[in-house]
Amino acid sequence: MNRIQVFIPILASIVLSCNSPKMKVDLIVTNALIYTVNDSFAVAESFAVKDGKFLAVGTNDEISAKYTSDNIEDYKGKVVYPGFIDAHCHFFGYGMNLMQYADLAGITDQESIYLKLQEQQQKAGGEWLLGRGWDQNLWPEKEFPDNQRLSELFPSVPVYLIRIDGHAAWCNAKALELAGITENTKVDGGEVLLKNGRPTGVLIDNAKELVFNLIPAPSGELKTKALMAAQNNCFAVGLSSVTDCGLPMEIILLMDSLQKQNELKMCINAMMDPSDENLEHFLKTGPFKTDHLQVNTIKLYADGALGSRGAYLLEDYSDSPGNRGLLMNEASYFETICQKAFDANFQVATHCIGDGANRFILNLYGKLLKGQNDRRWRIEHAQIVAPDDLQLFAKYSVIPSIQATHATSDMFWADQRLGADRIKSAYTYQQLLAQNGWLPNGTDFPIEAISPLKTFFASVCRKNTDGLPVLGFQMENALTREQALRSITIWAAKSSFEEQKKGSIEPGKSADFVVLDTDLMNCCDDAVLRANVLKTVVKGELVYNVVE
């Protein structure tokens, strides 16, 4: 009896030390509140990271029993989420804006815009004066501007100012002159706005390309700087992956080369624009994938935006009788490209704002997809969908890709465009979610701010950052907090076929995570907007660390 009592503990310790030596890993995080965003939405306390991937996730005891590391970080109750993913943005465009364009977003009168432009001219110089982000809905007159004063202040330098939604440009007389635009200019899929028979300088959709195409191409160096600047800002708000919606081949290849030099660490799902060059290059070889980059999708535009009345509606605009907006191209154009994508096994993602555009593309997709499928063809924005058409998303497994901050940016004027009834079929995120059971969320930055926390807040609270309207906008379509978090992590990953790789904190997935000082699942509404990103980690590498 005595011998046994003595020997058993010794044997047990020998067995433990022989069979279970602790494995050395690159990083252990302990004492954290970890939202894994796995299927059961489980929380954990600790995880181990090795070779850029999560190796194990569990309690502090489970992880410390099996793993050791020279780099053990005690998070002291801080909150960890999977790295945030923006499912629809313009990452490169945002970077170029930072480099080249005066930021006119949020400016509430024209005079302040002129002042900003004068500052920009002094700062940047250059042959052209560029700006972005104006919104006449914020001005007292709430009407499209004309260019009289703009042309007086800037008589010799061409001025090109993009509206907040990217679907209209405001140009001075010099720019119109260079582009040869007169009151007689007609453009397919666009419009030259006139007042008293003269061009006002406002160019809608394809018409603005006449001027845009004259702007000298930026240098390669500037493009690289733009990507790096965009990356820095995105890491600081907790983004570890983005989907860039519509890029020329040259930029996709630049991203690839900067990633291979380990300069650009942001993971990018690059949707290509439907240029012949892109289709020729990428469709031939099939979806292109590296560790950091994926090219798997063709991005199309069915219509314009609601703010500039370019969205294609089934009935007239409530505030512009006789006007229903327009489709950007002939049906045959969309059919041809979708067929090519279908044959090459690529995704298609089409910008659809108006209920006319949504119906048109849902039916066009349906002709090819026929029924339920796993091709994950997407409709970007899905902003106004006629109630009868909602079921087409489920019927053809089409993914509605939403941007919750669009609802809260548009809500104070969208009802003027749509009327009291039709506004109820706009920004119907909960109804769209019900179609497939999941949906990706993004910002469309630089149209909206880059922060995924603002997306989370707008999804859940349906209020702007001033907390208005007090009761929220059409709250029946608010997302729950769990749905909102899934929409900017695992569902965003799924929308680009990357849910096996990222989007949750689970063994085998890329160690992309973000550390916040706030528990988004349990804090009060206002605290979401005050939450601070403390660290962002991509593939196990610390890419942002707050200066404390």
**Contact positions toward Zn ion, by CB under 5 A?**
245, 444
Of 96 and 245, which CB lies nearer to Zn ion in the complex structure? 245
Of 273 and 444, which CB lies nearer to Zn ion in the complex structure? 444
CB of 403 to Zn ion, least distance (A): 8
CB of 442 to Zn ion, least distance (A): 8
Helices (H) and strands (E) in the chain, counts: 21, 26
Give the bridge partners for 334, in sequence order: none
CB of 444 to Zn ion, least distance (A): 4
CB of 482 to Zn ion, least distance (A): 26
CB of 453 to Zn ion, least distance (A): 20
User: Could you count the other beta carbons within 10 Å of the beta carbon of residue 424?
Assistant: 15
> How far are the Cα atoms of 11, 155, 362, 406, 459 from residue 477, in angstroms, in the given order?
62, 48, 21, 13, 9
Nearest residue to Zn ion by CB is 444
d(CA 103, CA 112): 12
Of 147 and 294, which CB lies nearer to Zn ion in the complex structure? 294
Could you tell me if 406 and 380 are in contact, meaning their C-beta atoms sit under 8 angstroms apart?
Answer: no
d(CA 68, CA 46): 12
Of 380 and 512, which CB lies nearer to Zn ion in the complex structure? 380
Which 8-state DSSP code applies to residue 317?
Answer: B
CB of 485 to Zn ion, least distance (A): 22
Where are the extended beta strands (E) located within 176-318? 190-195, 198-205, 239-247, 267-272, 288-289, 293-301
CB of 426 to Zn ion, least distance (A): 17
d(CA 224, CA 30): 37
Only one residue has tokens 């701010």, namely: 449
Dihedrals φ, ψ of 229, to 5°? -65, -40
Could you tell me if 319 and 414 are in contact, meaning their C-beta atoms sit under 8 angstroms apart?
Answer: no
Of 135 and 444, which CB lies nearer to Zn ion in the complex structure? 444
Of 271 and 515, which CB lies nearer to Zn ion in the complex structure? 271
Of 82 and 166, which CB lies nearer to Zn ion in the complex structure? 166
Dihedrals φ, ψ of 320, to 5°? -155, 75
DSSP string, 429-452: HHHHHHHHS---B---TTSS-S-H
CB of 245 to Zn ion, least distance (A): 5
d(CA 255, CA 241): 13
Could you tell me if 182 and 197 are in contact, meaning their C-beta atoms sit under 8 angstroms apart?
Answer: no
Q: Is the bond into 446 cis (omega within 30 degrees of 0)?
A: yes
Of 201 and 304, which CB lies nearer to Zn ion in the complex structure? 304
Dihedrals φ, ψ of 139, to 5°? -90, 160
Of 410 and 444, which CB lies nearer to Zn ion in the complex structure? 444
Q: CA 313, 319, 321: angle at the middle one, nearest 5?
A: 70
d(CA 33, CA 94): 33
Of 192 and 447, which CB lies nearer to Zn ion in the complex structure? 447
CB of 62 to Zn ion, least distance (A): 43
Of 98 and 178, which CB lies nearer to Zn ion in the complex structure? 98
CB of 340 to Zn ion, least distance (A): 22
Dihedrals φ, ψ of 308, to 5°? -95, 10
CB of 88 to Zn ion, least distance (A): 6
Which residues 6+ apart lie within 8 Å of 464 measured at CB?
408, 409, 411, 458
